């Protein structure tokens, strides 16, 4: 949505500029107003609210319209950008889950510890081997089964 307003503002910029640039000359050509008035009038250098007031006083409606649309597009870009706020969202619902395995250290036997876990990590780091399900290079998580009708997706970031 923001990009649409930015594109509109970018396309409107030349229209705004040339309307402000050519309206005093058009007024001089038509003979409406004093001869010095259009020559000294510089809508391009004026601040937009001042250009709007001056153009309304001098009945230069194309400049009034161009400045009004230009200011509205600027306001819309600012407001639409303000609507984009990064925030966390939480969805709470009940999901039935059952663990596949348990972390159990009661039967841990130090005599059967070997180099296999370390070699697995080295193989994953250096050779690109795949790690077992539920593990990354820095984490190991519990694996769960869910009820067939529950849908939950997620990803473990390393």
Whether 157 shows a pLDDT value over 60: the answer reads no
Average pLDDT over residues 64-73: 94
Whether 39 shows a pLDDT value over 70: the answer reads no
What is the predicted pLDDT for the residue at 52? 94
Average pLDDT over residues 72-79: 89
Structure tokens at 133: 């399900």
Angle between helices 48-57 and 61-82 (to 10 degrees): 150
Structure tokens at 44: 């391009």
What is the predicted pLDDT for the residue at 150? 67
Residue by residue, what is the 3-state secondary structure of 72-107? HHHHHHHHHHHCCCCCCCCCCCCCCEEECCCCCCCC
What is the predicted pLDDT for the residue at 41? 83
Whether 17 shows a pLDDT value over 70: the answer reads yes
What is the predicted pLDDT for the residue at 153? 63
Cβ pair 66, 15 in contact under 8 A: yes
Whether 112 shows a pLDDT value over 90: the answer reads no
Whether 158 shows a pLDDT value over 70: the answer reads no
Whether 155 shows a pLDDT value over 80: the answer reads no
Chain centre to alpha carbon of residue 55: 37
Whether 45 shows a pLDDT value over 60: the answer reads yes
Average pLDDT over residues 62-79: 92
What is the predicted pLDDT for the residue at 72? 93
Return the percentage of the chain with pLDDT > 90, whole number. Answer: 22
Average pLDDT over residues 50-61: 91
Average pLDDT over residues 110-123: 83
């Amino acid at each position: 949505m923001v990009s649409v307003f930015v594109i509109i503002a970018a396309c409107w910029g030349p229209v705004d500029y040339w309307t402000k640039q050519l309206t005093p000359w058009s007024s001089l050509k038509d003979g409406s107003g004093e001869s010095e008035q259009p020559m000294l009038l510089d809508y391009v250098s004026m601040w937009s609210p001042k250009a709007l007031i001056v153009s309304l006083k001098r009945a230069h409606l194309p400049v009034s319209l161009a400045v009004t649309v230009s200011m509205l597009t600027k306001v819309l870009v600012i407001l639409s950008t303000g609507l984009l706020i990064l925030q966390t969202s939480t969805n709470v619902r009940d999901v039935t889950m059952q663990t596949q395995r348990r972390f159990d250290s009661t039967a841990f036997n130090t005599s059967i510890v070997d180099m296999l876990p370390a070699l697995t990590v080295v193989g994953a780091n250096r050779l690109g081997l795949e790690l077992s399900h539920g593990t990354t290079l820095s984490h190991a998580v519990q694996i769960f089964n869910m009820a067939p009708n529950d849908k939950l997706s997620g990803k473990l970031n390393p």
